[in-house]
Structure 1
Amino acid sequence: PNGGHNLLEPAALAKPVLSGPHLFNFLEIATMLRTAGALQEVSDATTLAAAVQGLFDQPQQARSMADAGLAVMKANQGALQSLLDGIGRLMGRR
């Protein structure tokens, strides 16, 4: 396990955040997103598929998770914006 993907990317795009169990590279943001109701953790491909299907079946739940993730981003805008700016520079966007 490598510690998971960047949880900020879907949150910044106002999308529900789904992640596997390996969150050790993002413990603090995972805790904030989980507490806000923006993060759903899955254990394997089967539970991932069920989670994605559940979001399609319950669009209001998906919207609620997306809004919660974006709210976490906005509440932590200073530090997170610096991180996003750095990511943008790495991706060639100024």
Structure 2
Amino acid sequence: MIYTYTDDTDTRMQARPKHRDYLAALPELVVAGAWSPSEPAGGLLIFRAADKSAVQKILDADPYAEAGVIANVEIREWVPPLGPAAAAITQE
């Protein structure tokens, strides 16, 4: 999932602790993080989920969504075929 945030940084920072706590408690979460400060505000989140609708449900309950600080979301299915982390990421 790729998030792009709104320009409402104050609201996002207020919601950030709840957002992080929410993500940390998700068993489906593989890794998540914000883009570097030199990039547009947003982040990348990788989940193990049955399908895109399962990821959409995760998004819908995210405190960032509830706070209205997500401007755009892209949910994409990804299967990493190569690299030293591929097996660890795709294991079930």
Q: What range describes the TM-score normalised by the shorter chain of this pair? A: under 0.3
Q: TM-score, normalised by structure 1?
A: 0.27
Q: TM-score, normalised by structure 2?
A: 0.27
Q: Which has the higher strand share?
A: 2
Bigger RCO (CA 8 Å, 6+ sep): 2
